[in-house]
Amino acid sequence: FGKIQLPIFSNLPFVFSHGDLDFQNILISVDDLELPRITGIVDWEWAGSFPCSEEYFTSYNYFLNDDDKEIRIYFLNELEKRNVLTPRTIEHFSLLEKINQFVTNLAPWDLTDLVNPDDLIVNKKLEQSSSIVLSALNELDICTKKE
């Protein structure tokens, strides 16, 4: 195995993060259709204190991967107005993204209840994960040589 030299991420603050803040976990009251309001947030089992970049790989994924560039830009602008670090302001964010891809695909959490290892869907997921791991390793190696 080769060695990949990564930068030190010591300036990444830890924040309390929901960990799964997706649309289905936000309760909204529409009693007043003109002014809907958030009434609650549920599903806290993934919550904890994590590096600020982590929320972008879990909760905000749907905004970052949204095809609507205007919504993505608006969302990030609003966060930055409130002094929240975003992928645009977090140092080495693309490198952190590659590390996240590597880690999450090295041992896919959604296959923990593996009952039938010969299942075609399971095998397809494992092949995809393997491909992502190899690609992420290659990209990490290339990225770190540039820095």
If one compares 48 and 126, the residue with the highest pLDDT of the two is: 48
Residue 11 lies in a domain: no
The reported pLDDT for the residue numbered 50 is 92
- Report the sign of the C-alpha dihedral through residues 14, 18, 23, 28, in that order: negative
- Domain around 130: 92-147
For residue 39, is it within any domain?
Answer: no
Q: Which sign, positive or negative, has the C-alpha torsion 94, 95, 101, 104?
A: negative
Return d(Cα 95, Cα 76) in angstroms, integer.
19
Residue 143 lies in a domain: yes
The chain-wide mean pLDDT, for the chain, equals 83
Q: Whole-angstrom Cα distance, residue 143 to residue 136?
A: 10
pLDDT in tens, 57-112: 887 777 667 677 888 888 889 999 999 999 999 998 988 988 888 888 887 766 66
Per the structure, the count of domains in the chain is 1
Pairing, β 14-17 against β 48-51: antiparallel
The average pLDDT across 9-18 equals 88
- The angle formed by the CA atoms of residues 20, 26 and 112, to the nearest 5 degrees, is 30
Asked whether residue 81 is assigned to any structural domain, the reply reads no
Q: What is the structure's pLDDT at 80?
A: 95
Where are the strands (E) in 46-88, listed by range?
Answer: 48-51
> Looking at the domain assignment, is residue 138 inside a domain?
yes
Residues 26-51 have pLDDT tens digits of 899 988 888 888 999 999 999 999 99
- Which residue, 42, 60, 53, 47, is CA-closest to 103? 53
Residue 139 lies inside a defined structural domain of this protein: yes
Is 69 within the bounds of a domain? no
49 in a structural domain: no
- Average pLDDT for residues 117-128, to the nearest whole number? 79
Q: Please tell me whether residue 60 adopts helix, strand or coil conformation.
A: coil
What's the pLDDT score for residue 15?
A: 93
